[in-house]
Structure formats: structure tokens, C-alpha cells
């Protein structure tokens, strides 16, 4: 039986079984994100969580994070699927895809790696002389949206995250041309997930995103964070960039957009 819970202690105990797989989940326990979360769980004989699916409602389209640890995870997804929104993005184990597609039309974005820092190695690249790094805040939202429209229109960008101070951008001649940021950053739970890393197509191949990602990762590690990120498994250039910085692949999942069948 599904139980929707807000018990942070039991949720954290469950997610700490694999803090890389559940990096988003742990970060979303933070009060900054928690009001936008629904935690669909199943319990064992004792009052501990066996498996859990997170439904995040803080963006225009909800996001479902469905990663299991036990054989009961499929049971949870089967019971939950009729309760999900009419449209949602999802990060999920491949084994449960058929449960979603039985009820929802699927636009797949393919396999993705969950990477985490094993031994951080800062980049030795330097920015071109005509560029500079800027730390972003809410006043940069419009310029950042313009960059995403050119470079990364499918981004999962939550403008609230600019309040974190963990967005860095490269500017040249007053124009934003590259950015690296976070999806979650929790001091309380010492977890951060990098994201929304993008470079204007006209400025790619210069190492701009590598420099930003290196600096941001260094800051987060110095602050005591466990640092993770997602990257498309077929984006070989990005994977190589992250591997050079000391990231390793810990898990693989699928990302898709689902809409209710008519």
C-alpha cells in the first residue's frame, strides 16, 4: 500500500542507502524544495521505508524521480501510475518503463549517466582574455533565459535556484555565453547536483563550460557537499569533460516526457 509521507528522518534514512542515486531526493528534503515534493512510499514490517518515488511540483511540468532498491519497487510504481499528473518529466529505472507507457505516451530523451566526484581534478584551462566570470542572481534571469533559448531550450531551469548563488556564467562584451549551475544545493544535507550547464553554439569548443564547472565543483566540495550531475550517455564530449574533472559514472537511468493517452 502506498503511503504519502513527510517524515524527513525516515526518508533520509532510506536515501542514505545510496546517496548518489538519491542525490536529488536528499537535496529536495531541504526546506527550500520540500513544500514542492510528494513522497510516495511503501513500508516494510517495521516502520521504515522500503522504496520511494518523488513527485516534484516546483516547475511548470512536474518531475517524477523513480529509482528503486528492492523487488517491491515495481509494485509501488504499478500502484502509483494512476495517481500521477496528466503530464510529467521522469527520471526512472528502465525496468519500470513499460508501466508508464501502458498509460502514458512517451517522448524519450534516452539513457543518462548519474556521475559523482571520485577524485576532483581542476581544469588547467583558462578563459580567453576577452571574457570574465560572473556570479548570477535573480537580476540575471532574463539574460540567462535568453542563453538557454539559444543553447539549451530543453533545460530544467528553476529561476528560484538563482537565489542559491551557485550559478556562474561567462560573459563577453556584456553578453552571457556560457553557464553552469545547480538543480539542488543543500547546506543542511550537504548535497548538490550540478545542472543547466550550457554554452552558446557560437562559443563552443573553447572550454568555457569546463572552466565554470570546475570552479563551481571546487566551491561546492570546499563547502562540504557531495556533488553529482546527470549527463546524456551519448554526449561523449560532455562525459569526457566531466571525467577529466574527476567525475565517475555511478548509475544509469532514462529520462522521458510523458503525457496521458487519450
Closest alpha carbon to 135 in 199, 215, 237: 215
The reported pLDDT for the residue numbered 45 is 78
The reported pLDDT for the residue numbered 56 is 97
The reported pLDDT for the residue numbered 262 is 87
With a cut of 70, list the residues of the chain below it in pLDDT.
none
| Distances from the Cα of 99 to the Cα of 52, 57, 75, 80, 87, angstroms | 16, 21, 10, 10, 15
CATH class held by domain 120-245: alpha beta
DSSP per-residue string spanning 105-150: EEEEEEEEEEEEESS---------TT-EEEE--GGGHHHHHHHHHH
Contact 162, 136 (CB under 8 A): yes
Q: Does 120-245 match 3-112+256-260 at the fold level?
A: yes
| Distances from the Cα of 33 to the Cα of 79, 93, 193, 230, angstroms | 25, 23, 13, 19
Helices (H) and strands (E) in the chain, counts: 7, 12
Contact 168, 214 (CB under 8 A): no
Give the DSSP H or E segment for 5. none
**Domain residue spans of the chain:** 3-112+256-260, 120-245
pTM of the model: 0.95
Query: Under CATH, what is the fold of the domain 3-112+256-260?
Result: Aminopeptidase (3.40.630)
Instruction: Give the integer Cα–Cα distance in Å for 26 and 33.
Output: 10
* DSSP bridge partners of 104: 260
The reported pLDDT for the residue numbered 156 is 86
Q: Would you state the torsion angle of the CA atoms of residues 104, 259, 70, 252, taken in this order, to the nearest 10 degrees?
A: 120
Amino acid at each position: 500500500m502506498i503511503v504519502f509521507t513527510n517524515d524527513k528522518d525516515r526518508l533520509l534514512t532510506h536515501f542514505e542507502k545510496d546517496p548518489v542515486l538519491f542525490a536529488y531526493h536528499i537535496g529536495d528534503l531541504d526546506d527550500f524544495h520540500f513544500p514542492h515534493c510528494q513522497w510516495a512510499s511503501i513500508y516494510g514490517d517495521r516502520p521504515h521505508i522500503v522504496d520511494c518515488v518523488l513527485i516534484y511540483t516546483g516547475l511548470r511540468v512536474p518531475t517524477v524521480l523513480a529509482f528503486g532498491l528492492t523487488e517491491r519497487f515495481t509494485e509501488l510504481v504499478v500502484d502509483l501510475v494512476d495517481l500521477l499528473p496528466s503530464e510529467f518529466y521522469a527520471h526512472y529505472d528502465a525496468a519500470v518503463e513499460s508501466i508508464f507507457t501502458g498509460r502514458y505516451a512517451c517522448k524519450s530523451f534516452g539513457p543518462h549517466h548519474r556521475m559523482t566526484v571520485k577524485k576532483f581534478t581542476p581544469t588547467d584551462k583558462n578563459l580567453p582574455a576577452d571574457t570574465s566570470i560572473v556570479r548570477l542572481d535573480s537580476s540575471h534571469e532574463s539574460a540567462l533565459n535568453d542563453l538557454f533559448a539559444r543553447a539549451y531550450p530543453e533545460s530544467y531551469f528553476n529561476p528560484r535556484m538563482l537565489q542559491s548563488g551557485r550559478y556562474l556564467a561567462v560573459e563577453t562584451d556584456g553578453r552571457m555565453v556560457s553557464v553552469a549551475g545547480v538543480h539542488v544545493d543543500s547546506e543542511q544535507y550537504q548535497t548538490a547536483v550540478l545542472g543547466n550547464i550550457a554554452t552558446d553554439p557560437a562559443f563552443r569548443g573553447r572550454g568555457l563550460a569546463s572552466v565554470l564547472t570546475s570552479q563551481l565543483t571546487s566551491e561546492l566540495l570546499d563547502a562540504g557537499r557531495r556533488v553529482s550531475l546527470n549527463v546524456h550517455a551519448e554526449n561523449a564530449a560532455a562525459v569526457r569533460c566531466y571525467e577529466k574533472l574527476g567525475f565517475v559514472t555511478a548509475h544509469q537511468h532514462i529520462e522521458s516526457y510523458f503525457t496521458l493517452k487519450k
